[in-house]
Amino acid sequence: MNDNKQYVIDDFSIRESWRIFRIISEFVDGFETMSEIYPAVSVFGSASIRENSPVYDLGRQVGRLLAENGFAVITGGGPGAMEAANRGAMEAGGKSVGLSIQLPREQASNPYTNVKLNFRYFFVRKVMFVKYAMAYIILPGGFGTMDELFEAMTLIQTHRIKPFPVIMLGKDYWKDLVSWIKKTMLGKNRMICPDDMDLFQVTDDPEAAVAAIKRIVIV
């Protein structure tokens, strides 16, 4: 029994060691492809958004405006808000990047990307979003979108990356979250500093969002 147990442990260790090479290969593929994507803005939002939704129109507008102003558009490559931003960028003749992820409930990549990468590991993919973006635009979305939003603010807050614009697009969707951050995190419990409220911006206007990025980033 002890011999069998040792075999299982050894086998697990070997498999874990080989996983390192899969991770490295994803980084290498990502770095080689994304090094040619500059300047770029990462756009996030829900995969559940339908084409007839106002949020879809918002994503398509911001994708088009970014491309027209010289920015590549990077999304998660999926449907919904991601598709909308990629579509706007492609229709404007810009670089439209989709960083897809393998999920148990597989989502097909949207057809509006001219640069594609497929990832197995979330953390490798997230490095690409941050490393090659000059700004983040956050459309309405769920847990994944919130994850990207708060990770960006955490990295800026802790000086792990240089500050860049984090713009939440769609005031009505974000107003309750912003109110909670201000009243509960900052005011009531002092979990953040007053300056941390400057880590993000909120607007309804895609043109204002792109203008805010252009004020900081010279294209």
Mean pLDDT computed over every residue of the chain? 92
* CATH number of residue 45's parent domain: 3.40.50.450
Domains in the chain, number? 1
pLDDT in tens, 143-156: 999 999 999 999 99
Residues of the chain below pLDDT 50: 1, 7-9
28-55 residues labelled b (16+ CB within 10 A) or e (exposed):
eebeebbeebebbbbbbbbbebeeebeb
Range of the domain at 61: 2-216
pLDDT computed for residue 6 by the predictor: 53
Separation in Å, CA 153 to CA 15, 87, 127: 35, 27, 14
Rounded to two decimals, the pTM is: 0.90
Q: What are phi and psi of 19, to 5 degrees?
A: -60, -30
pLDDT computed for residue 7 by the predictor: 45
pLDDT in tens, 159-177: 999 999 999 999 999 999 9
